[in-house]
Structure 1
């Protein structure tokens, strides 16, 4: 009997088993839908196209002579194996999801997302994703396991651990104390592990900071006296005092961060009045091109016309190392597109003419960039974690001292060089000569 349509339902006579995997489209006449992949096929009373689709897209059927029937010997068994999620596979998939949460720093609410659940069901039919509370418990177990492994590893590094510590404030103005340990593992690879990022709710007194560092050592079962070679820290007065307290209590050596010290040298030397004024002008210019949509669009147009790299102007931030150098470098790169943009009355009206920098200010910034470049290179090098930096400090200090002897035409930059040389002598030279504990 011929197969016929019946109000969107499957034909009454279904001599071919392919109808287990196809259905008549309820919206389009003469169309069937594959229930495995939702693909639509034309249907003209023959199952040949459907069977061919299963062979090509779902290679699970074979032809049975000329009547085009499926061999049930392979089809159900294939689908059964593919849709069944074994306990072993479910456990491995759950571990993989947990790893995604940890490695990619995703929120636990990820597993409750509708799209995420749909994706998992599509990738592994039959798998029921555990709840966020299950993942929370597993995360706590994984943390404890990792903590115990780290304690054992640190035990093997007696007197070979170095700590770095820093008190910092987030964008949300929340204060934290970070403590990181550094050591060389059995494969002679440098390892850096953040031991804690502690929210600071009490006053940041030297005594409190010293106590917080002691708590970290106690939590991870290592001795500040016997296991820690030195603690590297910034130049904040309360932190310096805290490390003196720890030295008195535990005999642990401390070392000021050479990168932070270098930035203090640069910041002090940049206080020359004419340099300050030129930096202020550059800062205003960069700020304007960050706040004006019209200026941004016009600058892009000028960059295209002049064949200049389409970079945005950089702004300096007081707490970001080398940011003044990067602001100057980018502004000099974009000098002519910026100047051309400022001459456009649609961008700058009469009230904005103060943004035009004078020729002597451009010349000053050109020389200042050259003077700052050695300090930028030194800071970037000192910020590295894949190599030891403390042993390079003596020759690096000499290189910086030599760089301050470069002769410039600009009097303000010459003043900067003189001030930087004096700061190097009072800060970095003393720091370099204090490395007698190594």
Structure 2
């Protein structure tokens, strides 16, 4: 019945009820029998004959509609053979099945899923619904076949990416698992391609047995470099932590290395926070208050009720972690945000400790002093930060800490200690060629952030030596580099962000040093002379994009910039590798071998390079 009602003839007839034995012609209003003695045998033959005999125009329309609809039905209708094929499972080696299996492996890798996910009922039901013809392989197949195949493919891609790179920088660190007896040594690589676009990849998280001596560390890193066919003369610098065994290991290898800037910054802040008893006492009380709410659901529920009564968004207090100084800053910030709420809570409930009005004022001033450090930590920990950011950052910190005002009452000792710690730990950064040359080659900084003309001259002389070495090695490139240009293309930022106090200090230093009409007479190289004489680009501009635009105009400088600006200023990338490892090797997968964990994290970090 329903199939009959799909006919185009019903455009010209109407039924009084679905079971009526006759239909009314919409043109002449005549009742036409539907044929058959019972409802199941009704048909449209009489209706078609009626419009053919009495309504020629409508019959022509009916034929055209029937032809079109018939073509559509033919396109949608499957042959018996196709219908049976749609019920058959794909062969495992077919293109469709292989593609789905590949996506399942990528899902396991990118989302850090356990291999057992392919045995989970919910996941199997999902795939069965999406593609009934696909047979999900076994867990053993994914573990022993699919995963190693993808690992090999990603390795080949990374190897191809770095094989022609002339200078690379690295980060390294050591991590020990808290859930199983596993230690890993990580090594990540960073480089700029021919268009001066930054790239990075994880080379290995090597199973690290035995004592962490300088000899074992250097041997392990050499082994990783040999596996990837990276000679030591391509190693520009290795970023490491500040431990003596790490530093000695790099010296044993004969490669240049730098300590992690973020680690040194952490030590500076820790010294400042501990230097003034009144500040450290206020922070300790704040830590007790936060701990009380963290360990008492009832107390937090009461605090949440007060937040709602004050029409505030319910928010938890931030607990600090000793190994991360900026978590202390965030704890202070959360306490200050909830000051009114906490005062209302104290009126009706007890706390293990309370802050006096003087201590609240100290925390507020401490937050203001630490804000530039927190902003700087985020800046140097980003994936685009380089060694060029260190000297300008230290210069800005010194200026901020050296300023005195009425708001410093009660925290002068802390500010003084912070400034002393900055001078102590970063006092020689301008003497380090890796920092100095990178700063000069960053178009946002150039020579504007050196604290004295002597340091700036020393950096320019060192850069000149690098350029002259390149000139001797390639006469043709030197002749191109010496060609002057009248205009200096500027790369504008995609969007201008609201300036912070830290960035305002950056801009102020540039304004004090900037003299567009004056050329630097201390630089002997013509191209360096012209480059330094030009205005710096905005702090929000992209230095890599700048060199991508200007590499044909300043080929020698661009080549040197490619080497120096590929170096990060922290070992954060290696630490991020271990954050990924800790998500893979957890309580539920504590029997995972180091080799399998390394394979999974390698693909987790590098598979996006292949997908892109």
TM bucket (normalised to shorter chain) is 0.7 to 0.9
Instruction: Report the counterpart of residue 42 of structure 1 in structure 2.
Output: none
Q: Distance in 1 between matches of 2:313 and 2:246?
A: 43
Q: Deviations over 1:295-352 (max 9, x none)?
A: 110111111111233221111111124111111011100111122123323xx2xxx4
2:365 is matched with which residue?
367
Partner of residue 121, structure 2: 114
Counterpart in the other structure of 1:30: none
Distance (Å, rounded) in 2 between the aligned partners of 1:83 and 1:189: 49
Q: Secondary structure at the match of 2:433?
A: coil
Structure showing the higher helix proportion among its residues: 2
2:338 is aligned with 1:341 = no
- Residue 425 (structure 1) aligns with: 423
Quick one: structure 1 residues 271 and 123, their matched pair in 2 at CA, closer, same or farther if it must change by over 3 Å? same
Mark the runs of 5 or more structure 2 residues left unpaired by the alignment.
5-38, 43-65, 67-72, 438-563, 565-612
Cα drift, residue 167 of structure 1: 2.0
Alpha-carbon shift at residue 410 of structure 1 (Å): 5.2
**Correspondent of 1:296 among 296, 300, 325:** 300
- Give runs of aligned pairs for residues 172-183 of structure 1, distance below 5 A: 172=179, 174-183=182-191
Distance in structure 1 (CA, Å) of the matches to 2:244 and 2:410: 30
Q: Which residue of 1 aligns with 2:240?
A: 233
- In 2, the alpha carbon distance for the partners of 1:83 and 1:416 equals 75
In the TM superposition, what whole-angstrom CA distance separates every residue of 1:397-420 from its partner, at most 9, and x where no partner exists?
111001112335455521111111
Gaps of 5+ in 1: 1-15, 17-44, 49-62, 64-69
Aligned to 1:393: 390
- Determine which of 257, 260, 274 is the counterpart of 1:257: 260
1:195 corresponds to which of 174, 199, 203: 203
1:415 matched to which residue of 2? 413
Give the match's secondary structure for 2:117.
helix
Could you say which residue in structure 1 is the equivalent of 2:53? none
- Please, which of 399, 403, 419 is the counterpart of residue 400 of structure 2? 403
Aligned match of 1:9? none
Tell me, yes or no, if the aligned pair for 2:391 and 2:429 is still in contact at 8 Å.
no
Q: Who is 1:271 aligned against? A: 274
Deviation at 1:429, TM superposition (A): 3.0
CA RMSD of aligned residues (A): 2.8
What does 1:38-57 align with in structure 2 at a 5 Å threshold? none
C-alpha deviation, 1:367, in angstroms: 0.2
Shift in Å at residue 83 of structure 1? 3.7
Q: Using the alignment, how far apart are the partners of 2:106 and 2:331 within structure 1?
A: 39
Answer whether contact 2:401 2:415 (CA < 8 A) is retained.
yes
Asked whether the 8 Å contact 1:85–1:124 carries over to 2, the reply is no
Contact 2:116/2:139 (<8 A) preserved: yes
The structural deviation recorded for 1:79 is 4.2
Q: Is the 8 A contact 1:408 1:414 kept in 2?
A: no
1:184 corresponds to which residue? 192
Task: Tell me if 1:206 matches 2:214.
Answer: yes
Aligned to 1:281: 285
- Alpha-carbon distance in 2 for matches of 1:164, 1:321: 22
| Equivalent residues of 1:308, 1:334 under 8 A apart | no
TM-score by length of 1: 0.76
Q: Structure 2: how far apart are the matches of 1:322 and 1:142?
A: 39
- The offset of 1:47, in angstroms, is 12
How far residue 75 of structure 1 moved from its aligned partner, in angstroms, is 7.5
Within the candidate set 128, 152, 165, 2:172 is matched to: 165
User: Closer, same or farther in 2 for the Cα pair 1:169/1:343, shift >3 Å?
Assistant: farther
Asked if 1:215 corresponds to 2:223, the answer is yes
- Report the 3-state secondary structure (helix = DSSP H, G, I; strand = E; otherwise coil) of the residue aligned with 1:179: strand
Q: Is the 8 A contact 1:205 1:238 kept in 2?
A: yes
Residue 146 of structure 1 and its aligned partner are, at CA, apart by 2.0
Q: 1:295 to 1:46 in 2, by over 3 A?
A: farther
Shift of 1:288: 0.7
> For residues 83 and 122 of structure 2, what CA distance do their matches in structure 1 show?
24
Q: Measure the CA separation in 1 of the matches of 2:327 and 2:206.
A: 27
When normalised by structure 2's length, the TM-score is: 0.55
